[in-house]
Amino acid sequence: MTPPRRQPARRRTAALATVPVAVAALLGAAGPAAPGTTGASGAGDPYFPLSGNGGYHVRHYGLTLRYDTSSRRLDATAVLTARATQRLTRFDLDLKGLKVTSVTVDRATAAFRRDGQELVITPRHALRRGRGFRVAVAYHGTPEPVTDPDGSADGWIPTDDGAFVAGEPQGAMTWFPADGHPKDKASYDFTITVPKGRTAVANGVLLGQHTAHDTTTFRWRETRPMAAYLATATIGKFQVERYTTRDGIQVYNAVDAREARAAAPVLRELPSVLEWESTLFGPYPFRAAGSIVDHAPDVGYALETQTRPVYDSAPGLPTLVHENAHQWFGDSVSLTTWKDIWLNEGFATYAEWLYTEQHGGRSAQRAFDALYARPASDGLWAYPPGDPGSGARIFGTPVYARGAMALHELRRAVGDRDFLRVLRAWATGHRGGHGTTAQFVRLAERTSGKQLEGLFRTWLYAPGKPDSP
């Protein structure tokens, strides 16, 4: 994600995505949950305690969406294929707003109720540990974005011709029921029906599209594991470009006509950017790539939605480099807690520095020096990137810029050869999975043969401006 460029005054006060408890809606009958058989209502993340859930792992989401851009009504069904990780008599899904009309578990009607952002489901029969099961949720309503702790909006954000859909960190729940924490990754199928003349763009490969009467249906599939916040179903009037790179990557670009002229020269660089990043970080981790360039002037950021970043306006080349570097660092290798977000943003920012350095621009050292010259009172040193302290700070300058500075200090300490070996080993060794800062530190020490704990303690965790490097 690129850091938010603006914080419109009309945005609501920052909140932790809580909503009033809805009146319980019950279908079927179920007894009380036995002790120890209730799935947790959150994944245990200290910054977003209600994000994600416990007791199961989702393997696949099948999302069928119908969106009317005039009324802004969404009619949808989500089918989740999951596996119980404990005995379950009750479990939760994350879902904010929207009216749920029915829930089934393995085709049997299940009881459900709403509790803030939690959809609490009680299956007719308990699910034993290790059992696979399917949950189908039918729902509808007018999706609205959530206001994040930093005051920015994410999730399903209406636009003048559709919707800009970007879910970091917690917006997935605004348009589909999910296990919404990055720790739980799954494959996805999307079937999206929109008014004729609109295009619906999701993740992965386009399987087909079909127009009948006054609507068009698009079918997308992402087979590689994906965190819920990286899913998109962006809708608008787009100019579409499709091609395959010489490495066999299927590229799909969707561009709002109002941004097309400014976006064209940058999007032409996408194949060379992906090739350059593949040389440094290892093979591109997905089958598909591309860009969604919307005209959404009130959003204020871009996001690395998996396989196909979404931009609120025509991006510059550094932003294109940044969001596509995330395909390795953040999308393929996902964080385990939001506290470790520097593993996403520091890495993508440093990719910008490396690209500029290797394409005739200023060196990474000069970029580092320019930042280090800022006084101790500057916001860059306001808090350490390895522990921002709250969800309100995860997209702040320290996470991006000081996170990149930490990587540059690592590069200086171990040399270019070992530094690039570390980046490549991180991206390939954790491909499709997760990572933590502690694991990255161990990898860097093992690869270089050096003790680096002090370096990382200083640049990731020490408060204030570090002493002169």
- The confidence band for 2, taking pLDDT boundaries of 50, 70 and 90, is confident
In this prediction, residue 468 carries a pLDDT of: 72
In this prediction, residue 446 carries a pLDDT of: 98
- The confidence band for 21, taking pLDDT boundaries of 50, 70 and 90, is very low
Read off the pLDDT of each residue in 122-143 and give the average, rounded to a whole number: 98
**Average model confidence (pLDDT) across the chain:** 93
In this prediction, residue 469 carries a pLDDT of: 67
First to last CA, the chain: 28
Rounded distance, CA 128 to CA 7, Å?
47
Peptide bond into 4 cis (omega under 30): no
- Per-residue model confidence as pLDDT tens digits over 304-363: 999 999 999 999 999 999 999 999 999 999 999 999 999 999 999 999 999 999 999 999
- The Cα-based distances of 343 to 157, 297, 326, 439 in angstroms read 27, 28, 10, 11
In this prediction, residue 376 carries a pLDDT of: 97
Burial-class residue 342 by CB neighbours within 10 Å (0-12, 13-18, 19+).
buried
pTM of this prediction? 0.93
- Per-residue model confidence as pLDDT tens digits over 133-178: 999 999 999 999 999 999 999 999 999 999 999 999 999 999 999 9
Read off the pLDDT of each residue in 77-84 and give the average, rounded to a whole number: 98
- The confidence band for 17, taking pLDDT boundaries of 50, 70 and 90, is very low
Q: Which two tokens stand for residue 250?
A: 């299927």
Rounded distance, CA 272 to CA 266, Å?
11
- The confidence band for 30, taking pLDDT boundaries of 50, 70 and 90, is very low
- The confidence band for 4, taking pLDDT boundaries of 50, 70 and 90, is low
Q: Which two tokens stand for residue 447?
A: 């690869």
Beta-strand relationship, 73-84 and 56-68 = antiparallel
Q: What crossing angle do the helices spanning 342-358 and 403-414 adopt, rounded to 10°?
A: 60
* pLDDT over 90 (residue 22): no
Rounded distance, CA 30 to CA 246, Å?
56
Q: For a pLDDT cut of 70, what percent of the chain falls above it? A: 93
* pLDDT over 70 (residue 32): no
* pLDDT over 90 (residue 12): no
- Per-residue model confidence as pLDDT tens digits over 90-114: 999 999 999 999 999 999 999 999 9
